[in-house]
Amino acid sequence: MFQLLSGRPNVDQDELLKILLEQDSPEMVKRLFRDSGEHSQDEQEKEADAITKMLIGFSPQVRGDEDAAVRLTTLAQFIERRLQTGEPVTPEFARLALMRGAQLEHLLEAQKSPQAPQLAAQLAPLTKILTHIAAQPSMPPQPAPPGTPDGTPYEALQQ
């Protein structure tokens, strides 16, 4: 029955899996089952952590158990939002994002995801923009003058 109903859009796949697990032991449902929506949200949060690491120049590892489609979409949405709001996308971040994106695309293909061609087409324009940014020379960080973020010297605050 599972094979017959698996993948059908009019069948709740989560409930179908619960029924399959319950046949062996009802306890397995509590221990093994995780709602699809919850899984997607977890993957988005983990990709946000990876993005944070890339913003400080660290290249996070891509693992085979990641949901590559959710991860790629999350990364793309982050970059698109930065571009739309005028927030900077540094050449270093662009290089790291391109590398991570390529690794996630390979993982997506290895996972035989039906979303792979569609995601690749959606990401092509963003990849072109990132490639242009990545080709620019990185500017060395300018040391900030000592003081608060608004430029007030510490000495002025101590008076």
Question: Any idea which of 7-11, 28-32, 79-83 has the lowest mean pLDDT?
Answer: 28-32
* Of 106, 82, 109, 85, residue with least CA distance to 94: 82
Label residues 1-17 b or e (16+ Cβ within 10 Å = b): eeeeeeeeeeeeeeebb
Going 114 to 120 to 126 to 130, the CA torsion angle's sign is positive
| Domain residue extents for the chain | 1-33, 38-134
Write down the pLDDT at residue 91. 93
Predicted confidence band of residue 98 (pLDDT cuts 50, 70, 90): very high
14 and 4 in contact (C-beta within 8 Å)?
no
Taking residues 55-78, what's their average pLDDT? 93
Write down the pLDDT at residue 134. 94
pTM as predicted? 0.67
